[in-house]
Structure 1
Amino acid sequence: MKNSIIIFLLFNFLSLQGQHNEKITDSGSIIKKGIENIQSHLGKVPLFDASLQQVKEEVDEEMKREIRVPVPKDLAGGYTHERHKKNYATAQKAGVLYKILGEEKYAEYIKEMLLQYAKIYPDLPLHPAERSYARGKIFWQSLNDSNWLVAMSQAYDSIYEYLSEDERNYLEKDLFLPYANFLSIGNPKFFNRIHNHSTWGNAAVGMIGLVMKNDELVNRALYGLKETNIPENARDDDGGLILQEGQKAGFLANIEEAFSPSGYYTEGPYYQRYAMYPFMMFAKELENKRPEIGIFSYKDGVLIKAVYALLNLTDADGDFFPLNDAQKGMSLLNQSVVIAVDAAYYYGDQDPGLLSVAERQGKVSLDDAGMAVAMAIEQGKAEEFKKQSIDLTDGPQGNKGGVTVLRSEKADDVFSLVFKYTSQGDSHGHYDKLSFSFYNDGEEVIQDYGFARFVNIEPKNGGGYLKENTSWAKQSIAHNTITQNEKSHFNGDFDTGNKYHSEKYFSDFTKDNIQVVSAIEENAYPGTKLHRTLALLTNDIFQKPVVLDIFRIDGETENQYDLPFYYSGQIIATNFEYETPDELNKLGTGNGYQHLWTEAKGIAPGGNTRFNWSYNNRFYTLTQALKSNDSIILARIGASDPKFNLRRDPVYIARKKNTKNALFISILEPHGSYSPVTELGSNSFSQIEEIKVILDIDAYTGIEITGLQEKKIVFILSNEESSSSAKHQVKIKEKEFSWEGPYTIITK
């Protein structure tokens, strides 16, 4: 089969040489030199050949059917929505095939489709579904209309010279120009934002502007709408501009404002993955046609850095950590990431580590970047892409908190701890300051919920966000962080949350036996300071690396503090007594608590509280140093959910009542395994004998961990001085401890 594909491609290429190449110009994202390079290597580079063949088979199959351009009426997942999506995707791919193979059937297909759209577009009203703040015409929201134009601008570009001048004039007058004006001038609230929606809109208008050689459209895309572009009836309620004074807009502003210098995208990795497609596609067009902008060097090369940030925000299976609004299971196999990785290699430093990512993806983009990647892989240049512990800053200047990923490998296990202390994350952000999640390989041991949405599944609210996304998924109690008095951070108010961000206290990845990060949040609850320190500890007294979690709370008044752990798996054992009700009751009345069923309640025993469970034939124990009057709640998501929109995931909650200051000390310990074949378990018991607070004052917190055979670890944290050069000395039970830096760890 492989040989037949190569022979087929070579035959097509050789037979078409000279026949159609005069119609392939420098106007596309693959310039003439790139086309010649691709054609000269057809049949010699297996990964590129296979990627091309896959697209060819897909397009050829679709072209057997009649072109259908139905009157829009459906939401996401419905027939008209999916039909128009299929149209633009097929047209874009057909354009690539025409450029590379030169077969006129692809150009004719694109031309016929565009003529049909040009025929209906002038009379199209707004989409009948009144669901979006910016309704589209072909789709229910302007975002999807922008998806269409990004793809169709590439299709149009590929056949630009194939078309007659009259055909081009007709398409531009009746379709492309009014389409671009609708997305921009007609939708300033959509177009003039710092948001993934606007990035798509900016790229769509800019890319069609480049094909049409319309500088006004290109500049509108790059720099946003100005006052003279915005009609009176499209201004805000006060008659003013949509933008605040001094605020930027346009494609370049979205690069400047949405990315931190480290490449982290403020909306989170799920939407970063989605936005990387328009960022990279428009960037490649600009690099070819507006090289003076230096788009891949813009903001110190942040588009390339963004690819590395995105790859580092994946678990061992390549799935993105579901920070903020996010669908679980989205991975680096997504086509947007394929394009981004290839572009980062080609326009960056030709990092051989990216080649191993491309190998894992199993396909490349069908352009000069994809060919460069495929050729380098064929030449054996690929090296492992190593994901190590990393700090990613948030905010345009990198001064609005961030995300830290701690990683550790032990035998065949890869452990990843994700600590989130970012800014709000725009409209897709959650109220989850100082939240964390923990992964063993690709398994979510302590999970983040993600969003409440069934993307493109029409029976579930048309594929859009469910109301439970606001009432549950965004709320603080839905995350592994502190909730005070059953109220969400910033009282769940977006405008308030948008003003603030957490501050990193310090991080340290320099030692073999510990990796640690610490951050502070002082605005989530006025009058309360939250300070969380998380460490991955590796020591012989543990079978595998463990998570040490120190959560200090300083309050001005007495409060109730809840600290949940959303564990995956089945309870095995506890060392505390609990009561289970005959009838389930809701844990609370609002702020997400109304979505939790109380399944059991208990009181923490004196000493340590232990909670042991099993997940995917591995054992885990959560050990906490709680006070004897603290309570434990075992709950499950699903209350106040008559349409079953939420998953029925379990949660363990430690609660402290009527206290100003509080200290939660927890150790999450992976240990042991079970074989369903041999029906034998090993190391199913915790290896921690005791964890004890040996010091807790304003300046310092000291923790002692006792393992098997009385081996001990002491961890002391400076709560007020994070400098790596600061010297400390403290006496605990007549023993002097001296060190330099924000913490020390001693093994006895």
Structure 2
Amino acid sequence: MKLKQHILLNFALVIIVFTMFSCNKETTTVSDSKKATSTSNQHPNLILTAQGVKDIRAQLGTIPVFDNTLKAVKEEIDAEIALGIETPIPLDYSGGYTHVRHKRNMIVLQKAGVLYQILNDEKYAKYVKDMLMQYEAMYKTLPLHPKTRSYARGKLFWQCLNDANWLVYVSQAYDCVYNYLSEEERNKLETNLFKPFADHISVDSPQFYQRVHNHSTWGNAAVGMIGLVMNDAELIDRALYGIKDLKLDTKEKDDDGGFLNKNGKAGFLANIEEPFSPDGYYNEGPYYQRYAMYPFLVFAEGLHNVKPELKIFEYKEGVLLKSINALLNLSDADGDFFPLNDGQKGMSYYNDALVTAVDISYYFGKQDAGLLTIASEQNKVLLDDSGLAVALGIKNGKAKPFEKKSINLSDGPEGKQGGVAILRNEDIELVFKYASQGSSHGHYDKLSYSLYEKGDEVIQDYGLARFVNIEQKGGGNYLKENKTWAKQTIAHNTVTQNETSHYGGKYEVGSQNHPDLHYFSSDNKNVQASSAKVTNTYPGTDMQRTVAVIKDEDFEKPYVLDIMKVSSDKANQYDFPYYFLGQVLNTNFEYTIPKTLKPLGSKNGYQHLYLEGNGKSKESNAKFSWLNKGKFYTLSTISNAKDEILFTRIGANDPDFNLRREAAIMLRRKNTKNTLFVSTIEAHGSYSPVSESAINSKSNIKEIKVVLDTVDYTVISITTLKGNTKLFITANTNASKEAKHTLKINNKNFTWVGSYYYK
């Protein structure tokens, strides 16, 4: 029965192809007096092209992933058409009814325009025209949005950012129905809706538009894309280069944490040059890179199609296409993006923005067969030229696995402002963050890391404090706890000095400083390692952290070695948390539980931590084991009798329950100048609740020990329960791959070439 239905569907699609060419209106007169020099005035030419439409129609019924996507979109839009058109007067924040309705309308308009082109069914064009005319009638008398919280208020939405989202999508719909509309109708829309809309989010809102930030990228793309469809040279120029002759004298900070770029670079090209490193890492982190990739790529595709002379995909050595590979590598085994900086957990490459990224990367890039596997997992494609190319590649059996290996991604426009190293060894992934501040979405978490096994968090990064588009939680916007908790250093797996965040928690200071890579090494498949230094997080204090994921025959799974070296010109208190997920199993040290829970401190994030336990270790190694999602883990850390070991839990001073109640084990070292924190984390064994059997539930490490620690070298020994001892030596100064080292340890000479030694 299913085979018969499939044959009938394909036959129907073929019939559509032979009957769809009779009803398309062709009106080619252009109406704006400020027209750009374009390679073609034929529409569609922005994302979906006229030639692409012909190619798609010729393949319909023979390309399963494209046909299935088309079928799903047709069903979705047919249902919307049946409901009728609604363009309510704007009232709400994110997640409220009017916000959601206008957001839904922009997506529906874009999809309906594409359906009109592919299926040549006039009902879709009429639907787009009718809705646009309703917006035209509303917009010309629409005041600023009634909600006043945003630093740049929109008209359809509470912030210009969402208005820009709307125009990016709607410009694509307008391109698809451009020739369906009469010259009079186009004049009406452009004069009363599109041009005023573009002006409002740019010249009327320079604090939103005139800067380097993901918000501005959306604004630039919106102005530029509608400019391309209208063939308006002024709008295209404004999109590429920013607002000219901006009459503002002083630097003004907005409440999103960014700065208005009054005298420096602005516009789409500046937003490519500044945030992206040569490796394609986006300084705000993968969550916002995912969000910004859609306007980056669709506007770039429009520029490629309409103004190929710009060679936009070659700009800055092709960084836009490089960035897609970087972004895909910033995801775990399940495709979820690592929540660096402000990032919502669970965002993944199944998001529609990544469907766009994968398809465009394949079509305009090197036709990487690994991208076809990700596209197959996404199980949908863009209904345009790039989506057709991907669908044909999958159909023709070209797909190969997208292989994720250890990778180091530099940060900064020239790749000289730190970076992110991802160490992968079998099923273990360690994300080592030594990046720059990350613009307004950055956190104060230098030299922090998070740890994963098979896509499950083991040592977590908290991410952002926000319930995106859930109106009941702060209108769906950032909560105050994002600043008081999520951004603070103590919320991350790194050292906090004297209960004060890195750079004093000051954006202006953090933006002027960054860590530096010491070395990254992935050549040895058994030892994946990285080391980085930072000098200005606290005055007079330097930190260097070296991490390695080591596969050793004495261990069931690769284990993590973590060495944090701290040097200071005065005595301090150092707090070093590990935010583990799971159930505590046991410790080798005694601790007391307070009768009443109290906050650990009063500010800089400490006010949000309950102290749940306090202990000290009598052993040279403190050990702590936990169970998470059927797998066992053990933290072993070198300790002394004065070290405090604290159990903490997030949630203090949080009356609205905005924070997740998650736990950490924290090492506290007081009245200390120079010090060394050395730990291992073992992943081992498994537990089945079905068979109720625990396998290999205990640590395999008997002892870790500092053998030597000097300015130039740190030597750590790791001894197993069977008595086998391995040495890890990291070069703290000269760590080049070519460097030759000889070191005498216990009257024995060790000689090696490179950044580290392990044997």
TM over 0.5, yes or no? Answer: yes
Q: Which residue is 1:623 aligned to?
A: 636
Q: Which residue is 1:11 aligned to?
A: 15
1:18 Cα deviation from its structure 2 partner: 3.8
Contact 2:49-2:384 at 8 Å conserved across structures:
no
CA distance in 2, matches of 1:359, 1:513: 31
Q: Which residue is 1:540 aligned to?
A: 553
Contact 2:589-2:615 at 8 Å conserved across structures:
yes
Deviates most, 579-588 or 692-701: 692-701
**AA aligned opposite 1:179:** F
1:21 Cα deviation from its structure 2 partner: 7.8
Map 1:538-617; keep pairs closer than 5 Å.
Answer: 538-617=551-630
- 1:391 maps to 2:395: no
**AA aligned opposite 2:629:** N
Of all paired residues, the percent bearing the same amino acid is 54
CA distance in 2, matches of 1:232, 1:607: 62
Q: Which residue is 1:361 aligned to?
A: 378
1:696 Cα deviation from its structure 2 partner: 1.1
CA distance in 2, matches of 1:83, 1:9: 31
Contact 2:650-2:662 at 8 Å conserved across structures:
yes
CA distance in 1, matches of 2:8, 2:614: 66
- 1:505 maps to 2:523: no
Contact 1:187-1:234 at 8 Å conserved across structures:
no
**AA aligned opposite 1:186:** D
CA distance in 2, matches of 1:357, 1:598: 44
CA distance in 1, matches of 2:464, 2:326: 21
CA distance in 2, matches of 1:540, 1:65: 63
The one of 445, 462, 475 aligned to 1:462: 475
CA change 1:70–1:19 in 2 (3 A) is: closer
* Matched position secondary structure for 2:752: strand
Q: Which residue is 1:113 aligned to?
A: 131
* Matched position secondary structure for 1:444: strand
1:688 Cα deviation from its structure 2 partner: 0.6
Q: Which residue is 2:146 aligned to?
A: 128
* Matched position secondary structure for 1:736: strand
- When the two chains are superposed, the root-mean-square deviation of aligned CA atoms in Å is 1.5
* Matched position secondary structure for 1:325: coil
The one of 150, 156, 159 aligned to 2:168: 150
Q: Deviations over 1:274-303 (max 9, x none)?
A: 001101111111011000000111111111
Deviates most, 733-742 or 195-204: 733-742
**AA aligned opposite 1:6:** N
The one of 52, 57, 64 aligned to 2:75: 57
1:718 Cα deviation from its structure 2 partner: 1.6
Unaligned runs of 5+ in 1: none
1:20 Cα deviation from its structure 2 partner: 2.3
CA distance in 1, matches of 2:387, 2:153: 35
**AA aligned opposite 1:323:** L
CA distance in 2, matches of 1:140, 1:80: 10
Q: Which residue is 2:30 aligned to?
A: none
Q: Which residue is 2:65 aligned to?
A: 47
Contact 1:390-1:406 at 8 Å conserved across structures:
yes
Q: Which residue is 2:532 aligned to?
A: 519
* Matched position secondary structure for 1:610: strand
The one of 186, 192, 212 aligned to 1:168: 186
- 1:282 maps to 2:299: yes
Aligned residues: 737
CA change 1:481–1:256 in 2 (3 A) is: same
**AA aligned opposite 2:61:** G
- 1:322 maps to 2:339: yes
CA distance in 2, matches of 1:30, 1:730: 63
CA distance in 1, matches of 2:160, 2:260: 17
CA distance in 2, matches of 1:22, 1:690: 79
- 1:426 maps to 2:439: yes
Q: Which residue is 2:321 aligned to?
A: 304
Contact 1:185-1:231 at 8 Å conserved across structures:
no
**AA aligned opposite 1:542:** F
**AA aligned opposite 1:217:** L
TM-score (norm 2): 0.95
Map 1:693-708; keep pairs closer than 5 Å.
Answer: 693-708=706-721
**AA aligned opposite 1:19:** C
1:242 Cα deviation from its structure 2 partner: 4.3
CA distance in 1, matches of 2:148, 2:441: 21
1:335 Cα deviation from its structure 2 partner: 0.4
Q: Deviations over 1:346-385 (max 9, x none)?
A: 0001111110010011100110100000001000000000
Q: Which residue is 2:31 aligned to?
A: none
- 1:439 maps to 2:452: yes
1:6 Cα deviation from its structure 2 partner: 2.5
**AA aligned opposite 1:626:** S
Unaligned runs of 5+ in 2: 28-41
Q: Which residue is 1:214 aligned to?
A: 232
The one of 659, 669, 687 aligned to 2:672: 659
Contact 1:183-1:191 at 8 Å conserved across structures:
yes
Q: Which residue is 2:117 aligned to?
A: 99
Contact 1:21-1:102 at 8 Å conserved across structures:
no
CA distance in 1, matches of 2:43, 2:215: 31
* Matched position secondary structure for 2:611: strand
* Matched position secondary structure for 1:560: strand
* Matched position secondary structure for 2:648: strand
CA distance in 1, matches of 2:556, 2:251: 62
- 1:725 maps to 2:738: yes
TM-score (norm 1): 0.97
* Matched position secondary structure for 1:94: helix
Q: Deviations over 1:580-627 (max 9, x none)?
A: 011001111110000000000001223110000000111000001111
CA distance in 1, matches of 2:8, 2:473: 44
Map 1:78-89; keep pairs closer than 5 Å.
Answer: 78-89=96-107
1:231 Cα deviation from its structure 2 partner: 5.8
**AA aligned opposite 2:24:** H
Q: Which residue is 2:757 aligned to?
A: 744
CA distance in 2, matches of 1:234, 1:9: 60
Q: Deviations over 1:199-228 (max 9, x none)?
A: 00000000000111100000000010111x
CA distance in 1, matches of 2:595, 2:154: 51
